[in-house]
Chains A and B, each alone.
Chain A
């Protein structure tokens, strides 16, 4: 039995064959062993057929990316086998369904034939993954069956029987074993979208409103499925325009509301983002990107919406844009952004990508660490309240109904009381107020951690969002000395943190075909990168390949 630290498991098949679930079952198994995992699900925009696969990489230490080459590759259909043939690591084990594939390289197991005897012969095939994985990493049958019970709660008897049969076949046919050490600490495994949801929840979220759009839909599903435990009201209305406007309406009585979508849905919400800016409504928008423009590639990843996020809304108003660099950070950033949005009574956009939203990894969260979203309270005497009172910091104290005071919010430019105005002095005053609010926000951000820096020597690599995870993994893999600089906030842009690096030779890594992030660095901080590594094929960077490219860029 060969000892192994980093181990990658790939399972592929058609949609409807339980592939994604098989990946989740594997990452949960590694988690139970105290190991750390990173799970990336690659699926297409369809319900049946096509080709789906899940890649789970595990190690005793935290893993920030999946790897392309599998030590164990399980193919439920022939298409998977053909596709993943080149994804087998040296010394790896290739398994296919002997009823689907005929080949001498690899091990055939009659998955489909055994599955025929069960009520759901397609869906049950995914269970085979856990059986084969258990054999390969040396778990005994009881350990496997325990895990099957935990993971596949529907139709337990059939699943157990099927899992056992596959286990026996696999044990007979596969000689090779990998010994995976137990890890030191069990850490929960969750997706980026779950982490975003919990982060906002911890800071006081009351309502989540969403219209389905991959890769943001799972936030809506999360709150809907936990509506009783968490008591966050889930709402799925007629379209994204209703989503955003309901959210703004919800803030008037004081509800903390978050909404989410991908680029197309966000475009529909843009009218409301301006309204939020003008009326001073605190709404947290989650923009989870997929490759665009337009419908683009719905279930894949890209960072092509950076400029779109930064420039949301017509007119001038304070807008907060942040992007988390790991699944863990998503929890803290969404909490902090909900808090900031309320503190400054202005919209905030949490920008992320499919690669973070839907990938799962182990996290260690301080659940009580986040703040609590509150608005500045009013101490005005009776009859004196003005919704848009001009203050030194630009922030007007807020009152909620029912109140004896009249609280008038407005989409028009208005006076301090909230009555519509066209008076030049009032117009200028309110513009000044919103600008001063933005200045206060910038001042506040200067005291916060707006930028993450990893590493203390070597050349500088600028990156942001989910790409940060790929860069961190690549540097660790190839033992490259470099300093990563990752802004958590993109608007207001933390120039004060980056100015020192103006003259250094830097590398930029991003998933955009035109290099939007590199342009932003140039515009805001005059940073002139010597190399910009871009990837825009819908797939996240792969650490081994990225490590090679980084080495070349550095040399």
Chain B
């Protein structure tokens, strides 16, 4: 495991891409988490497919490079199998808010103890800039040369309506804020979403807009209704934790104490249990 968490993979993001800020914030967050007692050997990552997902190759951390939208399911499987591990999934907006949206909604609903970081850049950059679920109406790309006819979705309100127990937004233009946000998201017990406003310098350059609109929240909203109001803001864009409230997590509701891979029942005991079951005991 390399000290700076980097790998030998050549970085192929465009110069100035918002992903660099996310990568650096993640690296800093992992260091901080280590200082706070979470060894990086206990951290597993996954990613979908898209520009965001290249972060998997750039981080010297264990995990599985998943497929489009499915990383949300992948990391839940990891967590359920061994709950002592912490899992982080990286997704794009096309990835997690499009192809994998049902997984995201259900992960929030069942309160799986996972962290999803969404590189939300408002387009499908790796496939040359088509519109995405969060593209503005009128967005021009190769699949909508005259402008996108449909309106964007608001992922934060969807997460708030789906039972998300930690719903937040970050901005790579403010790296120290994003770093702390990721630390808090990973440490939150339950489903955490970090929607990252990621400028895409090639297809959807939003630096200027975000630099003007973004402001830091001092504290989370009191309730979901107030958090919704924050999420719906358009002129000003709050970053930070919009809503946070702990509630029981899925794997502990199924087995309060059990770790499936660590507490595996041995063969002999299994034979005994099968016998009892068959004999109706």
A residues engaging B (CB < 8 A)? 188, 190, 198, 201-202, 204, 206-207, 209, 226-227, 229-231, 233-235, 237-239, 241-242, 245-255, 257, 271-272, 275, 279, 365, 367-368, 372, 400-412, 414, 418-420
Contact = CB atoms under 8 A, between A and B. Distances in A.
A420 B67 CA distance: 13
B46 to A, nearest CB: 7
Interface string B220-256: 0000000000000000000000000000000000110
Contacts of A238: 102-103, 105-106
Contacts of A372: 267
A340 B9 CA distance: 33
B260 A202 contact: no
10 contacts: A188-B279, A201-B270, A230-B270, A237-B73, A246-B73, A250-B81, A253-B78, A254-B82, A368-B267, A409-B64
Interface residues of B, number: 57
The 4 lowest CB-CB distance pairs between A and B, nearest first, are: A249-B77, A245-B73, A255-B81, A246-B77
B168 interface: no
Contacts of A401: 41-42, 44, 62, 82, 85
B208 interface: no
B271 A229 contact: no
Contact of A207 (B80, B103, B277): B80
Given A245-B70, A252-B63, A202 B78 contact: no
A272 B70 contact: yes
Nearest to B87: A249
Contacts of B277: 198, 226, 229-230
Nearest to A202: B270
Interface in B17-63: 39, 41-42, 44, 46, 49, 54, 56-57, 60-63
A24 to B, nearest CB: 13
Contact of A250 (B39, B77, B254, B265): B77
B274 A233 contact: no
A403 B42 CA distance: 7
Contacts of B261: 206, 253-255, 400
Contact of B264 (A206, A251, A367, A406): A206
B207 to A, nearest CB: 28
Q: Of B41, B63, B74, B106, which is in contact with the most chain A CB atoms at under 10 Å from its CB?
A: B74
A401 B54 CA distance: 22
Contacts of A414: 65
A204 B258 contact: no
B1 interface: yes
Contacts of B60: 406
Nearest to A226: B277
Contacts of A400: 261
A403 B84 CA distance: 13
A279 B70 CA distance: 14
A367 B44 contact: no
